[in-house]
Amino acid sequence: MANNRGIAYKGPGKVEVVDLEYPELVLKDGPGVNPANVGRQVPHGAILKIVTTNICGSDQHMVRGRTTAPEGIILGHEITGEVVEAGPGVEFIKEGDICSVPFNIACGRCRNCKERKTGICLNVNPDRPGSAYGYVDMGGWQGGQAEYVMIPYADWNLLRFPDRDQALAKILDLTMLSDIFPTGYHGCVSAGVTTGSTVYIAGAGPVGLAAAASAQLLGAAVVIVGDLNQDRLNQARSFGCETIDVSQGDPQDQIEQILGEPEVDCAVDAVGFEARGHGKDAQVEQPATVLNSLMTVTRAGGALGIPGLYVTGDPGAADDAAKVGSLSIRLGLGWAKSHSFTTGQCPVMKYNRQLMMAILHDRVQIAKAVNATVIGLDDAPRGYREFDQGASRKYVIDPHNVTGKVAA
Cα-based distances in Å from 159 to 103, 111, 231: 12, 21, 33
**3-state secondary structure (DSSP) of residue 40:** strand
Query: What CA–CA distance (Å, rounded) separates 18 from 27?
Result: 19
Q: What is the DSSP string of 279-336?
A: GGGTTSB-TTHHHHHHHHHEEEEEEEE--S---S--TT-SSHHHHTT-----HHHHHH
Q: b/e string for 362-387 if b means 16 or more Cβ within 10 A?
A: eebebbebbbbbbbbbebbbebbebb
Total residues contacting Zn ion by CB under 5 A comes to 10
Query: What CA–CA distance (Å, rounded) separates 134 from 103?
Result: 10
121 binds, among Zn ion, ligand NAD, none (CB under 5 to 8 A by kind): Zn ion
Looking at 53, 58, 100, 197, which residue binds Zn ion (CB under 5 A)? Answer: 58
Amino acid at 116: R
37-45, 177-185, 314-322, 329-337 -> range binding ligand NAD (CB under 6 A):
177-185
- Shortest distance, CB of residue 145 to Zn ion, whole angstroms? 11
294 binds, among ligand NAD, Zn ion, none (CB under 5 to 8 A by kind): none
Closest-CA residue to 373 (of 399, 400, 393): 393
Looking at 271, 294, 311, 380, which residue binds ligand NAD (CB under 6 A)? Answer: 271
* Interface with Zn ion, residue 113, by CB under 5 A: yes
CB 104 within 8 A of CB 130: yes
Cα-based distances in Å from 358 to 48, 256, 366: 25, 33, 10
Q: What is residue 276's DSSP assignment?
A: B
Q: How many other C-beta atoms lie within 10 A of the C-beta of residue 390?
A: 15
Q: What is residue 103's DSSP assignment?
A: S
- Shortest distance, CB of residue 337 to ligand NAD, whole angstroms? 20
Site for ligand NAD in 10-29 (CB under 6 A): none
Query: What CA–CA distance (Å, rounded) separates 70 from 377?
Result: 21
Cβ proximity to ligand NAD, 291 vs 377, nearer residue:
291
Q: Residue of minimal CB distance from Zn ion?
A: 56
- Shortest distance, CB of residue 182 to Zn ion, whole angstroms? 10
* Interface with ligand NAD, residue 393, by CB under 6 A: no
Looking at 137, 173, 179, 265, which residue binds ligand NAD (CB under 6 A)? Answer: 179
* Interface with ligand NAD, residue 184, by CB under 6 A: no
Site for Zn ion in 165-194 (CB under 5 A): 179
Cβ proximity to ligand NAD, 93 vs 113, nearer residue:
113
Q: What is the DSSP string of 234-274?
A: HHHHTTT-EEEEGGGS-HHHHHHHHHSSS-EEEEEE-S-TT
Site for ligand NAD in 153-172 (CB under 6 A): none
- Shortest distance, CB of residue 206 to Zn ion, whole angstroms? 8
Cβ proximity to Zn ion, 109 vs 237, nearer residue:
109
Q: What is the DSSP string of 181-193?
A: HHHHHHHHHHTT-
Looking at 53, 58, 100, 145, which residue binds ligand NAD (CB under 6 A)? Answer: 58
36-44, 64-72, 307-315, 396-404 -> range binding ligand NAD (CB under 6 A):
307-315
Binding site for ligand NAD (CB under 6 A): 56-58, 60-61, 179-180, 183, 202-208, 226-229, 232, 246, 270-272, 275-276, 278, 289-290, 307-309, 345-346
Binding site for Zn ion (CB under 5 A): 56, 58, 78, 106-107, 110, 113, 121, 123, 179
